[in-house]
Amino acid sequence: MHALIIFLAFIVVVSVLVFMINKDRNTIAALGKIIKDDSSTFEAKDEARAKTKILNKKVLQKSIAIIVLIIIFYALI
């Protein structure tokens, strides 16, 4: 029973992290369109680049968190 609870918690946490990564990737794609758009102002492009850099860092952190959770999960079982 204890292993089932750990497994369900693991599934929920990983699912939430994957959902958040997909959301951030969609935002990065939208910002990429702003950066590539010729009609965008320099300020808008600069702001989009800054947001993209922050979101890329968040995606990397969430990906590392998923890997760590997988390692911990297999260590517990």
Q: Which residue has the tokens 């693991």?
A: 10
| DSSP character at residue 39 | T
pLDDT 10s digits, 10-55:
999 999 999 999 999 999 999 999 989 888 888 989 999 999 999 9
Give the SS3 label for residue 41.
coil
pLDDT for res 6: 86
Report which of residues 38 and 59 the model is more confident about. Answer: 59
At residue 21, φ and ψ (nearest 5 deg) are -65, -45
